[in-house]
Amino acid sequence: MAQTSVKSTALEQAVSLQRDGFIPWLSQQATRYGLLWLCVLLVILFSLTTPTFASMLTLNAILETKSKIALLALAATITMIVGKIDLNVGFGIVLWHILAITLQVQFGFSWQMSVIIVLVIAALYGLLNGILVALADIDSFVATLGSGTVLYAIALWHSGGRQIVGNLPDGFYDLNGIDLFGLPISALYVLIVALVLWIITEHTAIGRCMYAVGGNPTAARLNGISIKKYTICAFITSSTLTGFTGVLIAAQQGVGQASVGMDYLLPALVGAFLGSTTIRPGRVNVWGTIVGIAILAIGISGIQQFGGAFWVEPLFNGTTLLLSITIAGYAQRKRLANQKLVQKKQQTQAVKTDPQQSNQP
């Protein structure tokens, strides 16, 4: 069986203020919501040091530029929950946004039909990756890197390395261009997707099975959970969401070009990894991903307005990725240690309650 690319652990043990005391409770709260408070502190810091930061113009700019990264980070989160990595959150949008424009400009499809076709093809592509990982037993990093590179090559061949331009209908531009309540509509897309994923992953049997597959595939299989089914479905959902993001990028830019896409890969993965260190530390989760993207967006925007050079963003993203992976790994090890400690205590209490159990093998 292929190794799991990302560890997605089970639910952490809640610490009670009355039962465990103030210090353990405070430690858990700081671990859970530390990044959220860091977001607030960064906003206050940049607002005090940079007068232009605390404005609706900055807020709209952050929401407009980072909403696509947030959607891609949520797409990456879906596969990370089942313990896999999908690199096509960066590779995929290269072809999807080109295809959304090509279907209208060169083949005469309506923008509605073009969007549907892109989403269907993206879903089929996700199915292919799911089959490579779940059935062909190829590591998800290797499988999506290989298939994504092929996808990128197709985008280069199709575009000929040139921009694809043409007259696009206003309805297509409005998918990304209109505002609601003074905020970009793309921010609403992020909110809707996050809410749906949160409900599914945290409050349904599907979500519990996904976390079981990512946390302990062997135990999940013994409990009758189809690892292959949940893995394939995760890749299909992730790829479809990536296809939708590609459509939004096409509506935003109005041109198709193969140079677009790879700049989204690292920030999306950083947001997902960073998100696994907060809200549910040591476990990939939806709201943690949103907080992770917020940290990146606020930090980069504030540093740039403060006078940071053009290379600040990739430096910030790369450094944050290394830190987030380190912290996430530590949180996972700590959670596993706590779970083993709790199980040991439960076994000890069971022996005290029924001494005959101590004689059992």
End-to-end CA distance of the chain: 31
For residue 23, being part of any structural domain is answered with: no
Identify the CATH number of the domain in which residue 45 sits: 1.10.3470
Q: How far apart are CA 245 and CA 230, in angstroms?
A: 22
For residue 22, being part of any structural domain is answered with: no
Return the H-helix or E-strand segment holding 122: helix 111-134
Return the H-helix or E-strand segment holding 179: strand 179-180
- Chain centroid to Cα 285, Å, comes to 8
The burial of 94, by beta-carbon neighbours within 10 Å (0-12 exposed, 13-18 middle, 19 or more buried), is given as: buried
Helical packing angle, 111-134 and 88-105, nearest 10°: 150
CB-based burial, 266-281: b 16+ in 10 Å, e otherwise: bbbbbbbbbbbbbbbb
Q: How far apart are CA 121 and CA 193, in angstroms?
A: 20
Structurally, how many domains does the chain consist of?
A: 1
For residue 342, being part of any structural domain is answered with: no
Q: How far apart are CA 134 and CA 232, in angstroms?
A: 7
Q: What are the two backbone dihedrals, phi and then psi, of residue 180, each rounded to the nearest 5 degrees?
A: -125, 120
> The domain containing residue 238 runs over which residues?
34-333
Quote the pLDDT of residue 11. 44
For residue 359, being part of any structural domain is answered with: no
Quote the pLDDT of residue 36. 82
Q: Which residue has the tokens 């996430």?
A: 328
The full length of the chain comes to 361
For residue 168, being part of any structural domain is answered with: yes
Q: How far apart are CA 255 and CA 98, in angstroms?
A: 8
- Residue 41, C-beta contacts closer than 8 angstroms, at least 6 positions apart: none
For residue 38, being part of any structural domain is answered with: yes
For residue 213, being part of any structural domain is answered with: yes
> Which two structure tokens, joined as six digits, stand for 30?
């700081």
Mean pLDDT for back-to-back runs of 10 residues, the chain (361 residues):
49 55 62 78 85 85 90 96 93 93 93 97 97 94 94 90 88 91 91 96 94 91 94 97 96 87 84 82 87 88 75 76 69 66 68 56 47
- Chain centroid to Cα 91, Å, comes to 15
62, 102, 209, 221, 234 from 231: Cα distances, Å: 33, 31, 11, 13, 5
Return the H-helix or E-strand segment holding 183: strand 183-184
Nearest CA among 310, 320, 155, 140 for reference residue 231: 140
> Which two structure tokens, joined as six digits, stand for 290?
């949103």
Q: Please say whether the beta carbons of 58 and 52 come within 8 A.
A: yes
pTM recorded for the entire structure? 0.84
Q: What are the two backbone dihedrals, phi and then psi, of residue 184, each rounded to the nearest 5 degrees?
A: -60, 140
Quote the pLDDT of residue 282. 72
Quote the pLDDT of residue 170. 92
For residue 46, being part of any structural domain is answered with: yes
> Which two structure tokens, joined as six digits, stand for 162?
């040139």
Q: How far apart are CA 208 and CA 225, in angstroms?
A: 10
Q: How far apart are CA 275 and CA 78, in angstroms?
A: 12
Q: How far apart are CA 333 and CA 7, in angstroms?
A: 10
